[in-house]
Amino acid sequence: MVRPLGAVLVCAGLLLAGCSEPSAPDSTGTPSPSQSSQSPSPSPSVELSALGERCGVADQPAATPRVVKVRNDVQLYSAAAGSGRLGVVLVHGSGSRGICNWAGEIGWLAKAGLNVVGYDQTCVGSSTCVNEVRPVEDLLAVVADLRKRGATQVVVVGASAGGSIPLVAAARPNSGITAAVSLSTAGLTTPLGTADAPTASATSVARTIRQPVLYVLARDDTASSVPEITSISKTTPRSRLLLLPPGSGHAQQVLYTPNTQTPSPFRQTFLTFLRTPFQPV
């Protein structure tokens, strides 16, 4: 169901800044499911640096770095904060910043009572690199690890090029995913690939997703068109679509008012869905 939110979410103009967080407007990411335009070179292990060191800034939130093992040749750098049974996994979009796109959110989501984890996908940032990158498998491994650490419900949030990954993952049997949020999704028709379903894309699996899904897009965002996001929302059985006013921004930026670190009106809607994904937004 489409909810324009025009009267509820009143936002001024905001420059689109790819997949970057508002604190780093120059670090843009091209909306693409591919995390690197270069051929990956193998890397043997994960360096467990602090999140601030990984992201090159001093004021990142306190978070515990962890290694998540996907398979023998793939290990992911992750950073976790908070605790409890309600887990949230943050999936980044394209570009080398990886988890740093979400670093600004890890702290306040943990303070809001959520068990939060972000991670670098394979061949991004501090994670290891192999020739065959499988972003869906990366995500499912992080979800399983979060459940082992006490989360009984896990909501996965993907942004920009990362917005399609939770959708394909949620359609997998026994995914461990309770619900999904797709912010400013790019690459809805691009195959993400799993070992047994290499052509799977967000649009091809949408009708098989049984978990609640929240789709979010600013009306002037070019990551997806309004007709595209409306179509996939209608195809997804338990979805809701929020079309934000023009100028609301792209990806993580929709959580802030334009060009500031002030929470946007949408942020409360976002938190409400994370806490109660089975209730109307």
Taking residues 210-234, report their average pLDDT. Answer: 97
Sheet of 74-81, strand order: 2-3, 239-244, 213-218, 179-183, 153-159, 86-91, 115-119, 74-81, 64-71
Residue 216 has pLDDT above 80, yes or no: yes
pLDDT band at 259 (very low <50, low <70, confident <90, very high): confident
- Predicted TM-score (pTM) of the model is 0.85
35 vs 26, higher pLDDT: 35
Q: Report pLDDT digits (tens) over 180-202.
A: 999 999 999 999 977 788 899 99
pLDDT band at 44 (very low <50, low <70, confident <90, very high): low
Q: Does any domain span residue 280?
A: no
Q: Does any domain span residue 164?
A: yes
Q: How many whole angstroms separate alpha carbon 65 and alpha carbon 230? A: 37
Taking residues 218-236, report their average pLDDT. Answer: 97
Q: Does any domain span residue 256?
A: yes
Q: Does any domain span residue 180?
A: yes
- Mean residue pLDDT of the chain comes to 86
202 vs 36, higher pLDDT: 202
Which residues are paired to 270 by β-bridges? none
* Inter-residue contact 166 to 205 (CB < 8 Å): no
Q: Does any domain span residue 21?
A: yes
> What pLDDT does residue 123 have?
95
Q: Does any domain span residue 87?
A: yes
Residue 17 has pLDDT above 50, yes or no: no
State the DSSP H helix or E strand holding residue 76, giving kind and residue range, or none if neither: strand 74-81
CA 135 to chain centroid, in Å, comes to 12
Taking residues 65-70, report their average pLDDT. Answer: 95
Domain span at 140 = 2-29+40-275
Domain CATH number, residue 132: 3.40.50.1820
Taking residues 201-217, report their average pLDDT. Answer: 97
> What pLDDT does residue 43 have?
53
Q: Does any domain span residue 35?
A: no
Residue 59 has pLDDT above 80, yes or no: no
pLDDT band at 38 (very low <50, low <70, confident <90, very high): very low
Candidate from 33-37, 241-245, 250-254 with smallest mean pLDDT: 33-37
Q: Does any domain span residue 34?
A: no
Of 5-14, 56-65, 91-100, the range with the highest mean pLDDT is: 91-100
Ranges of H-type helices in the chain: 51-55, 103-111, 135-148, 165-170, 202-205, 226-235, 265-275
> What pLDDT does residue 60 have?
72
Q: How many domains, the chain?
A: 1
